């Protein structure tokens, strides 16, 4: 196959923006101080991590926030704080990334996978069925690739079956449903600040909640020792009194160096969310001109942050999908194919999580079979995003 109309793209899909000078100065200041550990404070003053927690709680419009080692750690901590026991069922979407079933496995619970729709959100019919089979369980709802379900309907189903909802907001920091921030619907929300997320500290995460007892448990679980009063967004001392000696320490704290990068980045967060959406809209507009490619429709009242874009090529079989990826790569566009039977890089295929009991998910399998993913780093301009969209459209026109 040869391409005549579109030039190859030469940008780097793995390249995130560098830290700003302000962030570098903030990190350097921490390193110069020698006080890298969150509890290594001379006085009663708040550490950088604690100040970050206060700032994030305010931005997220949530009462309590814990900064920790990763998004995966936040999810495992949420499940522990809720008292999920070995063998307990935990519902989650079948289309998510491996850290989600991984968090469930880390507390020896049993992932029950729920189908996803063509719009890449949890299937409410299958959720209702599985919720009725496992009443009183936890739903770890992963807003995979930023697609938000109708959260009013999800919460209605959860309430009807006494499910406790934990939101995995690794891809929805800043997204909203019906005006409310993603993460403020369930009991607990978990965020990631790993390199490809909306805040980037290489590794890191947040757990937020409005429940004071869950917040206290999460803080002690994260490894606060008896120093929890030095946190920036925690409930009062009395809340800790009843749980502090009964709650194990499973260290996963954030350090002051990462926190300094994040605290500084928070100043650009809203503007960066806008920049992502501008780029996503440009790429989406070009791709939507292709009559062959199918883009997921946003659920009404949801506002997504477009740090990646997904589309389906429904006419292709498996070898056609593989060829699609290869042709795009020749033109400099890196795609991920979610239907790949061989796990490559980040795994999102439930079949490749062999530690999870195999489950019958025909709807999800049909969606993933021809689903592709493009990362949108902010190092790309709006014009770059149009260029990438044009390449994808051109390959789609020629790939049989
Ligand atoms: C959907 C989803 N949930 C959770 C996580 C976990 O985040 P972390 O890498 O910080 O553990 C990721 C990470 O990429 C993710 O993609």
Residue 42 has pLDDT above 90, yes or no: no
Distance 398 CA to ligand 1 centre (A): 34
Mean pLDDT of 262-275: 98
What pTM does this model have?
Answer: 0.97
Q: What is the CA radius of gyration of the chain?
A: 21
- Listed by start position, the domains of the chain span 21-264, 269-398
Work out the mean pLDDT of the chain and round it to a whole number. Answer: 96
The confidence score (pLDDT) of residue 348 equals 79
Ligand 1 atom with the smallest distance to the CA of 190 is: 4
Pair 130, 363: CB distance under 8 Å: no
Residues present in the chain in total = 400
Cβ–ligand 1 distance for 205 under 6 Å, the answer yes
Pair 280, 306: CB distance under 8 Å: yes
pLDDT of 276-318, one tens digit each? 999 999 999 999 999 999 999 999 999 999 999 999 999 999 9
Residue 360 has pLDDT above 80, yes or no: yes
Please name which of 375, 365, 385 lies closest in space to residue 310, comparing C-alpha atoms.
375
Higher pLDDT, residue 320 or 344: 320
The confidence score (pLDDT) of residue 5 equals 76
The confidence score (pLDDT) of residue 341 equals 83
Topology (CATH level 3) of domain 21-264: 3.40.640
The confidence score (pLDDT) of residue 41 equals 86
The confidence score (pLDDT) of residue 3 equals 56
Strand 164-168 and strand 188-192: the pairing is parallel
CA 362 to chain centre: 24
Cβ–ligand 1 distance for 192 under 6 Å, the answer yes
The confidence score (pLDDT) of residue 169 equals 98
pLDDT of 194-245, one tens digit each? 999 999 999 999 999 999 999 999 999 999 999 999 998 999 999 999 999 9
Cβ–ligand 1 distance for 71 under 6 Å, the answer yes
Please name which of 70, 105, 75 lies closest in space to residue 253, comparing C-alpha atoms.
70
Residues 6+ apart with CB under 8 A from 345: 336
Distance 5 CA to ligand 1 centre (A): 37
Q: Give the range among 35-44, 65-74, 114-123, 133-142 with minimum mean pLDDT.
A: 35-44
Q: What is the 3-state secondary structure (H, E, C) of 112-176?
A: EEECECCCCCECHHHHHHHHHHCCCCEEEEECHHHCCCCHHHHHHHHHHCCCEEEEECCCCCCCE
Phi first, then psi: give them for residue 47, nearest 5 degrees.
-70, 170
Q: What is the 3-state secondary structure (H, E, C) of 341-387?
A: CCCCCCCCCHHHCCCCCCCCCHHHHHHHHCEEEEECCCCCCHHHHHH
For residues 175 and 304, what is the distance between their CA atoms, to the nearest angstrom? 5
Cβ–ligand 1 distance for 339 under 6 Å, the answer no
The confidence score (pLDDT) of residue 2 equals 55
> Is 269-398 a domain of CATH 3.20.20.70?
no
Cβ–ligand 1 distance for 72 under 6 Å, the answer yes
The confidence score (pLDDT) of residue 347 equals 73
Mean pLDDT of 162-187: 98
Q: How far is CA 159 from CA 148, 165, 244, in A?
A: 18, 9, 30
Residue 19 has pLDDT above 80, yes or no: yes
For residues 188 and 173, what is the distance between their CA atoms, to the nearest angstrom? 14
Ligand 1 atom with the smallest distance to the CA of 72 is: 11
- Indicate if 269-398 has the same CATH topology as 21-264: no
């Amino acid at each position: 196959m040869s391409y005549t109309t579109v030039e190859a793209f030469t940008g780097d899909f793995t390249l995130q923006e560098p830290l700003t000078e302000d962030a570098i100065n903030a990190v350097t200041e921490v390193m110069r101080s020698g006080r890298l550990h969150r509890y290594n404070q001379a006085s009663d003053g708040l550490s950088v991590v604690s100040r970050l927690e206060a700032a994030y709680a305010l931005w997220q419009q949530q009462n309590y926030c814990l900064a920790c080692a990763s998004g995966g750690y936040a999810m495992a901590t949420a499940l522990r704080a809720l008292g999920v026991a070995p063998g307990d069922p935990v519902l989650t979407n079948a289309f998510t990334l491996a850290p989600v079933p991984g968090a469930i496995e880390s507390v020896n619970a049993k992932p029950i996978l729920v189908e996803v729709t063509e719009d890449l959100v949890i299937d409410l019919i299958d959720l209702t069925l599985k919720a009725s089979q496992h009443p009183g369980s936890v739903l770890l709802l992963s807003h995979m690739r930023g697609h938000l379900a109708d959260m009013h309907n999800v919460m209605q189903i959860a309430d009807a079956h006494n499910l406790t909802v934990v939101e995995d907001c690794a891809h929805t920091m800043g997204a909203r449903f019906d005006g409310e921030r993603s993460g403020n619907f369930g009991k607990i929300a978990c965020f990631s600040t790993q390199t490809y997320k909306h805040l980037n500290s290489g590794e890191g995460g947040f757990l937020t909640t409005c429940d004071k007892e869950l917040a206290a448990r999460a803080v002690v679980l994260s490894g606060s020792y008896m120093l929890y009063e030095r946190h920036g967004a925690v409930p009062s001392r009395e809340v800790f009194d009843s749980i502090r000696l009964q709650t194990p320490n499973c260290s996963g704290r954030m350090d002051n160096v990462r926190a300094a990068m994040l605290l500084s980045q928070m100043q650009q967060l809203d503007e960066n969310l806008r920049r992502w959406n501008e780029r996503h809209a440009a790429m989406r507009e070009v791709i939507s001109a292709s009559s062959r490619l199918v883009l997921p429709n946003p659920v009404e009242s949801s506002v997504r942050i477009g740090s990646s874009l997904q589309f389906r090529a429904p006419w292709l079989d498996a070898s056609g999908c593989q060829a699609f990826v290869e042709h795009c790569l020749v033109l400099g566009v890196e795609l991920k194919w979610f239907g790949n039977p061989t796990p490559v890089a980040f795994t999102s295929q439930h079949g490749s999580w062999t530690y999870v009991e195999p489950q019958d998910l025909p709807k999800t399998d049909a969606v993933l079979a021809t689903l592709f993913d493009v990362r949108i780093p902010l190092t790309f301009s709006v014009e770059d995003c149009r260029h990438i969209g044009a390449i994808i459209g051109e390959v789609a026109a020629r790939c049989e």
